[in-house]
Structure 1
Amino acid sequence: MTATLAPETPVITAVPVSVNRGYCFELVKLVSQWRIRLLVLACWIVPAVFVVGVSQQSTLPVDTLFGRWMHATGWAAPLVMLGFAGTWALPLLTSVVAGDVFASEDRLGTWRHLLVAVRSPRRIFVAKALASLSVILLLVAGLAVSSTVGGLLTVGNHPLVGLDGHLLSSGDAAWRVLLAWVAALAPTLALAGIGLLGSIALGRSPMGLLLPALVAIVMQVAQMLPLPVAVRLALPGFAFISWNGLFTSPTQLAPLLSAVAVSLVWAVLATVLAYVLFLRRDFTNLAYDGSGRRALTVGLLPLAALTALSVAAIAVSTSSMGSGIEPGKVQRSVATAFAHLYRMQTDQLHRPAVTEAQLRTTAACAKSAGKGAQEGAGNDWRCVVSWHLPGVAVTGTAIYQIDITSDGRFMADGDGPKEVNGYFLLRTSTGDAPNPLWQFDGNVELLGTSSKG
């Protein structure tokens, strides 16, 4: 009897799907959702419509930074939109995209099918994270481009008045607007990382979807409280407002660079924590609904520790445990802005030209009429500005009521004399024109050195 050997059965090895194919698949899944398509459409159209609508109105959003210049130059529009986006739009967009990219698989019960198709949890995470990042960048680009194009087409490519009153050329304004939007990407990435973490840690719970928006609200509230500068800079949300330092001369880069660095570290840490939680989760349990205690130990505690370390590092390196708002800084900022804007008013009225050096502008500022602590935010600052004109013996003076927010931004409201800052219009040879000295915005550098001058 002859024995025959059965042929060996070939072993089929499952090859994981490449990251590129997984990324394309996840991107198609995202953009096929009606809410994502609606958000993309809104981000690329609504800002331009808003700018056109404001251009037809007699009133301006003066409570928003650069809002008072929306009738003067198209470059103010993207900055107004950036202020709104950092407060509301970007946190909500990251919640809808990154906060739901993993949780949607839990709701639909499709994890097992996805794992069988891709064969690698690591590649699934990378593909989903990259797809959500791509959609978020598309939404941010829409907000920036739409508001910029709407402003330039409606108002025009005119110079922009900076936060210290100096005039920025159109090219300089364009470059700084671009840098401001790029800087805003850092806190957006931090919120996106938090969204990924919440989407994985909280599963089907609605809290995962809302987590980036809730974190953004908490950080906004913290920025309004009388906290030390070191604590403000240690929160990634500060990068949404520190871009205003780009529009002063010289530029106030220290707070912006610190805020961007903190935001990027938050983004990296939150994404790594989300990756660790994702690899440790149980994909066989159909009733899985979040990581419970692990979400606290692996998710929340490391971010809290990072905040504490950031506060300590910033406090040691910058000596910034106070409010950062002191009389010397306020006086210097108000005097500088007044001098630049006085020259603008002089040009409007066709008076003899004068330089800042000739004006020798100074300001004497006090909080609460000199009673109590002379530092910190509040609407009870009062400044008396003095300047000199060539060939005039009498020193000119003007009074301003100053409202300073805790992030260093201030609005100066003219309180006389009427000929200088007491009325919002100027009578010029070509008709009435806005008075640049009536009200103006400025910025106190929180990390700058104080001065008594």
Structure 2
Amino acid sequence: MTDTATPTETDATPTAARPQLPYAGSVSTAHTYRFELVKLVSQWRIRLLLLVCWIAPALFVAAVSRQSSLPVDTLFGRWMHATGWAGPLVTLGFAGSWALPLLTSMVAGDVFACEDRLGTWRHLLVAVRSPRRIFAAKALASLSVILLLVAGLACSSTAGGLLAVGDQRLPGLDGHLLAPGDAAVKVLLAWVSVLAPTLALAAVGLLGSVALGRSPMGLLLPALLALAMQLAQMLPLPVAVRFALPGYAFIAWNGLFTAPAQLGPLLIAVAVSLLWAVTATALAYWIFLRRDFTNPAHDGAGRRAITTAALPLIGLTAVTVAALMPTSTGTGSGIGQEKVQRSVATAFAHLYRLQTTQLNRPDVTEKQLKASAACTKGDVSDGAEGPGNDWRCVVSWHLPGIEATGSAIYQLDVTADGRYMADGDGPKEVNGYFLVRTPTGDEPNPLWQFDGTVELLSK
């Protein structure tokens, strides 16, 4: 007979001898976040970006502020000799156009695609045991690095300007002077406001990295989108369409430097950018959780993923345009004759007082000047509207105790986003020369050329 053990005997012995192993649960989001952050910062290109963002702006602003020629075609560039607060605003203008889109591409646009190139998804999933925690950790790690890069640009450029020039008053976009404390607050708010479109581009980078996988288009997607939106802002688009693009938030901070501040366009631009950020992040999360990680050849690319990513953002833009139509002038550009005249007259009055101080003349108030402007665009003298470089304004003013009316001519180049540059065309003693003779020597003439902005939403 064959010896057979009873079931009770065979079950009892191994059970008693079997060790109790601890259960290997999923790794927490905090630990995964630290791991992903260390992975990002350990890359040489990320370290190089951090070094450049925290050092290069200070050197650039300090060097340009010491030059005899200034970037007058850049907003606040003409004031870099006068105050250190102009430097961070010049840097902000450049960063919004080029630096921030490229930074988001290099960080957020590659945070998921790098795992596809290295083939490490299965190892990461085995270690973390939760796709949701992996997505959250990668998104938070890329956001942390991007915020650190933006902080470096802001702090470095501000330090460079203040050390090279000093803490003087800053002329606003309507000519009024901001005290150093007010200028500091406005500069800080301007940099904070561009975080919203930066987050929108970062979310698009996450979406491209998830949906396109190894394709280099995922890495370039935020930069290409920013370039497309920048080109769109140069076109004579209706105001509602212009505000529905998140890229407008990169220039909407201009309204902070007028009195009163033009907060309407800025708040709309920030809200639109945050909507884009939330929508793009949600789409990236949805696509990521439905990915087949068991197939090593699958890298996320495909028509379905691209369609799923693009169509909701297009729909969001259409809905935003429809929602903003009642707040604007319909299909108009928002640039009208009365707005231009009012803006030019206000800026001239403020800057005339600045010139009066330079020349050590008796002070005069804007109310006493009663400055007004009569503007035409080409051959259109009544009801002129729209952008163009064919605007011409004649500014008139009165001095107390003098019956004669003063007048000065300006040629205006008005861009589609409402910004303009006024170029003085005489008389010479007022705005026809770039220097004025003061008791302490020659100084830049504030009335020779000046920048201004037209609020597109105002009536």
Give the alignment's TM-score, normalised by structure 2: 0.96
Q: 1:339 — aligned with what?
A: 349
Shift in alpha-carbon separation, 1:346–1:371, aligned structure 2, 3 A:
closer
Residues in 1 aligned to 2:193 and 2:253: alpha-carbon distance in whole angstroms: 7
Match of 1:367 among 373, 377, 391: 377
Q: Secondary structure at the match of 2:109?
A: coil
Give the alignment's TM-score, normalised by structure 1: 0.97
Task: Tell me the CA shift for residue 386 of structure 1.
Answer: 0.3
Match of 2:90 among 76, 80, 84: 80
Match of 2:309 among 272, 292, 299: 299
Figure out how many residues of one structure are paired with residues of the other and give that number.
449
Q: 1:33 — aligned with what?
A: 43
Task: Report Cα offsets for 1:244-299 as digits up to 9, x if no partner.
Answer: 00000000000000000000000000000000000011111111233312223320
**Where does the alignment leave 5 or more consecutive residues of structure 1 unmatched?**
none
Residues in 1 aligned to 2:319 and 2:188: alpha-carbon distance in whole angstroms: 31
Q: Secondary structure at the match of 1:422?
A: coil
Task: Tell me the CA shift for residue 12 of structure 1.
Answer: 5.8
Q: 2:58 — aligned with what?
A: 48
Q: 2:446 — aligned with what?
A: 436
Residues in 2 aligned to 1:309 and 1:319: alpha-carbon distance in whole angstroms: 17
Q: 1:104 — aligned with what?
A: 114
Residues in 1 aligned to 2:128 and 2:323: alpha-carbon distance in whole angstroms: 42
Q: Is the CA contact 1:314–1:320 (under 8 Å) kept in the aligned structure 2?
A: no
Q: 2:277 — aligned with what?
A: 267
Task: Tell me the CA shift for residue 318 of structure 1.
Answer: 3.4
Residues in 1 aligned to 2:133 and 2:430: alpha-carbon distance in whole angstroms: 65
Residues in 1 aligned to 2:327 and 2:408: alpha-carbon distance in whole angstroms: 38
Match of 1:205 among 209, 212, 215: 215
Larger radius of gyration: 2
Q: Secondary structure at the match of 2:364?
A: coil
Shift in alpha-carbon separation, 1:350–1:316, aligned structure 2, 3 A:
same
Q: Is the CA contact 2:376–2:382 (under 8 Å) kept in the aligned structure 1?
A: no
Q: Does 1:65 align with 2:78?
A: no
Moved over 6 A (4+): none
Matched to 1:129, the amino acid is A
Task: Tell me the CA shift for residue 13 of structure 1.
Answer: 4.0
Matched to 2:370, the amino acid is R
Matched to 1:291, the amino acid is A
Q: 1:144 — aligned with what?
A: 154
Q: Is the CA contact 1:320–1:447 (under 8 Å) kept in the aligned structure 2?
A: no
Residues in 1 aligned to 2:54 and 2:65: alpha-carbon distance in whole angstroms: 18
Residues in 1 aligned to 2:176 and 2:449: alpha-carbon distance in whole angstroms: 15
Q: Is the CA contact 1:47–1:81 (under 8 Å) kept in the aligned structure 2?
A: yes
How many percent of aligned residue pairs carry the same amino acid?
74
Q: Is the CA contact 1:242–1:255 (under 8 Å) kept in the aligned structure 2?
A: yes
Q: 2:27 — aligned with what?
A: 17
Q: 2:232 — aligned with what?
A: 222
1:180-329 map, 5 Å: 180-329=190-339
Matched to 1:384, the amino acid is V
Task: Tell me the CA shift for residue 56 of structure 1.
Answer: 2.3
Shift in alpha-carbon separation, 1:14–1:298, aligned structure 2, 3 A:
farther
Q: Does 1:404 align with 2:419?
A: no
Residues in 2 aligned to 1:41 and 1:201: alpha-carbon distance in whole angstroms: 30
Q: What is the alpha-carbon root mean square deviation over aligned residues?
A: 1.3
Match of 2:340 among 322, 330, 334: 330
